[in-house]
Structure 1
Amino acid sequence: MVSKKVAVLHTTPVTVEPLKKLAEEKIPGCKVVNFVDDSILPQLIETDGNISLVQDRLVQYAKYAEQIGADVILNACSSVGEVVAKARQNITIPIIRIDEAMAEEAIKRGKKIGVVATLATTLNPTMRLLQEKATEFNKKVEFESELAEEAYQCLITGDQNSHDAALSVVLSNIAKKVDVVVLAQASMARVVSTLPIEQQEMFLASPQLGMERVQQTLEGIAE
């Protein structure tokens, strides 16, 4: 297969290396180009998640990605996943929400779905996406959501260990109440491996499922 190019739009540098490694595993030989704008999340937090204020910037990054010859774009931030619909109107190449495949899998798996985020700006759009997918699949589901704000406060001070510890408590507790748990942020995925083995299969994280969707999309593009 001719080498393909994937552009990834990030709102934090935290997701750059994990997604690069996933791309190497799932799409060997694929070139990955990263666009990182770490001003977006703070702006969303300050404006109560108003994505209209950052939408034009993200659409412009998608246009840049197309200009440099990307075959597919992966939007790596769930907080701004809803911008993808607008971006699709402005570019001709596929752009994928990292959390869309995860949301579809969650709706297929359970009738009672837990959703955990450390940021309200991510929790709300994730809930909307899940509700859209439930409607699309004509399935009645219940949601149980948790906002692990303490974990995020630890993360922004650079205390990764405390972030993981606080988040693991929230994840373990919600797992006892639901059929499946959705992790609303890609950065949360690594914490699952610290949980009891019998709980780990209950959790869905967006990075692997999102990259598999990129892989499937690339395979569908004619050489």
Structure 2
Amino acid sequence: MKIAVIHTTPATIASLGDLIRSEIPNAEVFNLLDDSILPDMNGGYRVDWVRERWLEYAQIARKNGAQAILSACSTVGEFAQEANEMLDIPVYRIDEAMACEAVRRGGVICVFATLASTLEPTARLLKRLSQKQTQFCEIRTVLVEGAYDALMQGDRALHDEKIRRALAEQGAQANVIVLAQASMASAADGLPDEICAQVLTSPRLGIEKLRDDLAALDGEKR
């Protein structure tokens, strides 16, 4: 099984590759990285150009033999949905399984992100799923200032600490806490039990969905 992962930051390459190979032992993983996407999306002035090249990356992955594509970035998740409708192979967004679980739990869902460009796409996904499931959800958003800069400077410890501090300060009123970006998952380690039970991260849930869906497709072919 050849799986392409499209990244917008190098921070997700090793962790997602390891997780895919642990959950899908026969997977051959290859990565495409464009680290100019997030600056473009965060500025909000080159969104059409980002969409155009992301869809092209998906087509390149297909031509390179990918049997499935995973978008590792929540900010561009809606482009992954579009690619899924265009291509004859499945295209997954890393955060969809997390969002489904958040909506299933319902109540007040607080979305934390380290990039402003991620908040609205994640909130839109949650709203769409809540309407589809006719589940009441109140969606709130929190931007964790400075965490992404720390990560890009190689200081994951500071990145994680800023997120944990924000969770402690602003997550108390939430029924569900969503860490919107895959790169934020490490911040969930070591949280107090009462907070940890509320927190959802995308990597494991997203890869488990990928594994289960691909197994089902393989079963149908047989």
Please tell me the TM-score bracket, short chain as reference.
over 0.9
State which drifts further: 185-194 or 155-164: 155-164
Residues 110 and 173 (structure 1), Cα distance of their counterparts in 2 relative to 1, 3 Å cut: farther
1:157 matched to 2:153? The reply is yes
Shift of residue 24, structure 1, vs aligned partner = 1.6
- 1:87 paired residue number: 83
Query: CA RMSD, aligned part only?
Result: 1.4
Alpha-carbon distance between aligned partners in 1 of 2:5 and 2:39, rounded to the nearest angstrom: 19
Alpha-carbon distance between aligned partners in 2 of 1:28 and 1:109, rounded to the nearest angstrom: 31
Q: Deviations over 1:54-95 (max 9, x none)?
A: 111111111111112211110110000010232124311000
| SS of aligned partner of 1:54 | helix
Shift of residue 214, structure 1, vs aligned partner = 0.9
Shift of residue 182, structure 1, vs aligned partner = 0.6
- 2:20 paired residue number: 23
| SS of aligned partner of 1:208 | helix
Runs of 4+ more than 4 Å apart: none
1:167 matched to 2:163? The reply is yes
Please tell me whether the aligned partners of residues 51 and 83 of structure 1 are also in contact (alpha carbons under 8 angstroms): no
Alpha-carbon distance between aligned partners in 2 of 1:103 and 1:89, rounded to the nearest angstrom: 20
Please tell me whether the aligned partners of residues 74 and 98 of structure 1 are also in contact (alpha carbons under 8 angstroms): yes
Identity %: 42
Shift of residue 198, structure 1, vs aligned partner = 3.0
TM (normalized to structure 1)?
0.93
Q: Which residue type is aligned with residue 124 of structure 2?
A: R
Q: Which residue type is aligned with residue 37 of structure 2?
A: I
Runs of at least 5 residues in structure 2 that lack an aligned partner in the other structure? none
1:203 matched to 2:199? The reply is yes
- 2:179 paired residue number: 183
Matches within 5 A, 1:68-107: 68-107=64-103
| SS of aligned partner of 2:146 | helix
Q: Deviations over 1:133-159 (max 9, x none)?
A: 110111121122211022123223333
- 1:43 paired residue number: 40
Alpha-carbon distance between aligned partners in 2 of 1:180 and 1:172, rounded to the nearest angstrom: 13
Q: How many residues align?
A: 219
Q: Which residue type is aligned with residue 62 of structure 2?
A: E
Alpha-carbon distance between aligned partners in 2 of 1:24 and 1:172, rounded to the nearest angstrom: 33
Please tell me whether the aligned partners of residues 114 and 180 of structure 1 are also in contact (alpha carbons under 8 angstroms): yes
